[in-house]
Homo-oligomer: A and B are copies of this chain.
Amino acid sequence: MKSLSIKDIAVKANVSITTVSFIINGKAKEKSISEAVIEKVEKIIAESGYKPNQIARSLRTGNSNIIGLIIEDISNSFFSRIARLIEDKAYKRGYKIIYSSTENSVDKAKELINMFKSRKVDAYIISPIKGIEEDIQMLLDDGNPVILFDRNLPDLNVSYVGADHFNASYQSIQNFIDQGKKNIALVTTDINVEQIIERFEGYRKALEDNGITYNDELVVKVHFNQDEQTTINQVKDLFNSKNIDAVLFATNYLAIGGLKALKQINKKIDDDFAVIAYDDHEAFELHTPSISAVQQPLEEIAETIIKLILSQLASKSKSPVDQVIIPARLVIRD
């Protein structure tokens, strides 16, 4: 069953295609179409269930009403929650989201950008990785609205929304130190992205400011994409070989793996051993004892992203670059 086209409607209503188009797009008044014709056409449209072909529309107008969302991994709860909020807010403004996960691969990320480009998405929301600076610059040069989030690319002059990773990390460590902890470990990843680096810098700076010398051996960098068991083993090694009284996990999946490791070696979280996780997760509140966590303000991040996108879409001219850093919140539990 071929679907109806505007032509079918025009024929049925015995008017021109142009007239139907004007009516569909609410330009009837402006183009002085008579009430009678408007009514007739609208009735036919309603009865027939005709829906304009968005593809043809996009081809003609040059915009798709689709926003491309490029993230690391949709199944990570941080991203899926952000995705949900963004989707919701975009939807209310008439935009749809098309997403894809990069899995931290530069090649895949580049491919995705090209894919979205050839699909003529109206805007790009990207949680980027190092190595795609040029591709993003090209998007910017072509005048596309682009917002980075979660991680910034410092070489680029582009709008960005993210939490204050440095301070959140700093505060976490300060919190440990205030409790009298001295041997503070950091479990992080080896991906070379801004937010991970900032978390590391916050860790190091807080130690320094408190007169504790930074010790390389207390920092574990796990490979991204390695399987969880390997991570668990690395964490076990760390705790078995070193005397540690506090640990900051730099992402929620690291914390999940880390907690499993602690459970396996039967290391208890108590007054003598403290844990903080970066990015909250349902498992943390439920854990016995519950785990303190750095909560990123997802709602605010999503809202800011959409605001920036919409303002960029609205202004024809090159829009200003906004870099919004939103404070994160350290939730102390138990």
Q: Who on chain B is nearest to A51 by CB?
A: B118
Q: A118 contacts which of B54, B77, B259 (Cβ < 8 Å)?
A: B54
- Check if B100 sits within 8 Å of A53, measured CB to CB: no
- Check if A114 sits within 8 Å of B51, measured CB to CB: yes
- Check if B285 sits within 8 Å of A282, measured CB to CB: no
A80 CB to nearest B CB, Å: 4
Q: Who on chain B is nearest to A114 by CB?
A: B51
Contacts of A58 in B (CB 8 A): 55
- Check if A87 sits within 8 Å of B59, measured CB to CB: no
- Check if A98 sits within 8 Å of B98, measured CB to CB: yes
Q: Which of A238-290 contact B (CB under 8 A)?
A: 256, 259-260, 263, 281-283, 285-288
In the assembled complex, the Cα of A99 lies from the Cα of B74 at a distance in Å of 11
Measured CB to CB, the residues of A under 8 A from B are 1, 3, 51-56, 58-59, 64, 66, 73-75, 77, 80-81, 83-84, 87-88, 91, 96-101, 114-115, 117-120, 141-143, 256, 259-260, 263, 281-283, 285-288
Q: A75-B84, A87-B99 are in contact. List 17 more A-B contacts (CB 8 A).
A: A1-B143, A51-B117, A53-B59, A53-B118, A54-B118, A54-B120, A73-B84, A74-B80, A75-B77, A77-B80, A84-B101, A91-B100, A96-B115, A97-B99, A263-B286, A263-B288, A281-B282
